[in-house]
Amino acid sequence: MCRVLTSIQLDELRAAVGADGLITAQNQLQTYECDGLTNFRVMPSAVVLPRTTEAVQAVVRVCARHKIPFVSRGAGTGLSGGALPAEGCVVISLARMDRILEVDFANRLVVVEPGVINAHVTQRVTPRGYFYAPDPSSQSVCTIGGNVAENAGGAHCLKYGFTVTHVLALEVVLPSGELVQFGSRALDTPGYDLAGVFVGSEGTLGVTTKITLRIVKRPEVVQTLLAAFASPHAAGQTVSDIIAAGMLPSALEIMDALAIQAAEAAVHAHYPVCGGLLLVELDGSASEVEALMRQVRELCGSNGASEIRVAQSEQERALVWKGRKAAFASMGRISPNYIVQDGVIPRTALPRVLTEIESMATGSGLRVANVFHAGDGNLHPLVLYDRSIPGQEEAALDLSYRILRLCVDSGGSITGEHGVGKEKQEALGYMFTEPDLATMQLVRCAFDPENISNPDKVFPRPRLCGDRPGPYVPHPLESAGIAEIF
């Protein structure tokens, strides 16, 4: 049932954000009815576009007073429905809070508003040789506020860590409207690590309005190697050997034949034709990278690599990454429809899990393309299907869900970087027991006793038992070629 806000409530919201900061027209509200997981859509009752922390606070106070649910939103690139509006909610779009407030090179940090685009942080600090490490592939459009909500990762988090590794402090508007500071520029603020628990809470604990982030000095040298193997298994064995040799590359990625085929069709990355492609990126001092790269080449050779190349220029390196980052979006070239998953497994389970996925796919009469962050076991199986064939979508949904269960059964997780959101609520109940979930709820209730901050997300809902992850529908930004999904 769609909730209609009263004129008094709308007046209060207008007073909080100004007339140009309130959207209520149906055609405009439609823009906000989904995020990157476009098969779930709910029309919000209103959208507000605050420009200041005070305005966010005023909006949340209105919501708290009237017990109106609210959902905060950055660029809406999330892939799990985390920014999907709740029934009758107010969407708080932080797009207008997009200022980089401070850059402090002496302490290697920046202070930003939540609507700042991820890549803009790096752009701002590049002239002094720094970068912001978390690099979700939507980084050209996704916002830091959304990254904080999802604890976003990216290919380079193997070495540099996730968003939470880089968050020093947060200014947060609690669901009551109270403004608080979590953490500080200095480490180990006495008290509970509230910044730590807030990052990755998917908008369910409040709205962040200011974020203090670490920045990292760009290494002297970055080198990217491509190695072609007969199968993803051989590529996976090489990854294990690299790790066993005591190396910590900045990225370790694998693509299988289907994924290579799709990426080639889309961006012509000049990948070798093979059954399993391994991408290894090393960074550090020139002498160290050179020595380690020699070792990586040897390991690739001993595992039967048919071709080994190192990108010879920044342009070549960029092309290698372009192909990898376009892997999801390019699935449209080889299949009319597909479902994106984000399960994680212990790296050592890789050969067994890949074999099982293959056999499950064969059993379902479907194809599965595999693209994964091999270094940290984060799989992105893409279940390919054709909706126009009766029964195939159901089979694809079923297969996709069984793959998630396989990840959990293998000692892994249902999500490595996309979040639980709306999509995987039920799967969270498969991964955690009731007491685990009840303990998480203690935190939720301490922050948000009225359950108004992004309600009905993350946690399983009994009435939605049987929820299945949805088929992948390209986000409008992706279709327009503005963003890539990873």
Partner 1 sequence: MSSPTAWTLEQGTAQIALIVGEEHVRVRGESVVCGPADIAQIAQILRFANASGLAVTASGSGTKLGWGNPVAANIRLSMERMNTLREHAWQDMTCTVEAGSTWAAMQAELARHGQMVALDPLWPERATVGGIVAVNDSGALRLRYGGLRDLIIGMTVVLADGTIAKTGGKVVKNVAGYDLHKLMTGSFGTLGVIAEVHFRLHPLERHSRTWTAVAPHPSLFDAPLRALLDSQITPSSVQLRVSQRQSALDVRIAGLPHCMDGVAARLESILNPLELSESTESPWQARQELVDREGAIVLKVSSISSEICTVLSELRQWADDDGMNYEAVAQATGLMMIAIRSAPRAAAALVERLRARLRVCDGSVVALQIPEALREKLDVWGNAADTLTLMREIKRRFDHNRILNPGRFVGNI
The least distance separating partner 1 from the CB of residue 164, rounded to whole angstroms, comes to: 7
Considering the complex, state which of residue 180 and residue 273 has its C-beta at the smaller distance from partner 1: 180
- Decide whether 5 or 282 has the Cβ nearer to partner 1: 282
How far apart (Å, rounded) are the C-alpha atoms in residues 199 and 213? Answer: 12
For residues 22 and 289, which CB has a smaller minimum distance to partner 1 in the complex?
A: 289
Q: Give the whole-angstrom CA distance, residue 485 versus residue 137.
A: 6
- Paired sense of beta strands 251-256 and 216-217, if any: unpaired
Q: What is the closest distance, in whole angstroms, from the C-beta atom of residue 203 to partner 1 in the complex?
A: 12
Closest CA to 74 of 56, 91, 94, 57: 94
Rounded Cα distance between 167 and 162, Å, is 9
Shortest distance in whole angstroms from residue 194 CB to partner 1:
6
CB closer to partner 1, 73 vs 424: 424
In the complex, least distance from residue 87 CB atom to partner 1, rounded to whole angstroms: 23
Residues 418/80, Cβ–Cβ less than 8 Å = yes
State in angstroms the smallest separation of the CB of 150 from partner 1: 7
Q: Strand order of the sheet with strand 90-93?
A: 22-23, 46-48, 90-93, 70-73
CA quadruple 28, 34, 40, 43: dihedral positive or negative? negative
**Residue (115 or 419) nearer to partner 1, CB:** 419
Smallest gap from residue 288 Cβ to partner 1 (A): 5
**Which of left, alpha, beta for 71 (phi over 0: left; psi -120 to 50: alpha)?**
beta
Q: How far is the CB of 419 from partner 1 (least distance, A)?
A: 6
Would you say 44 or 412 has its CB closer to partner 1? 412
CB closer to partner 1, 168 vs 305: 168
CB of 219 to partner 1, least distance (A): 6
Nearer to partner 1, 64 or 258 (CB): 64
Which one, 17 or 357, has the nearer CB to partner 1? Answer: 357
At closest approach, how far in Å is the CB of 84 from partner 1?
Answer: 17
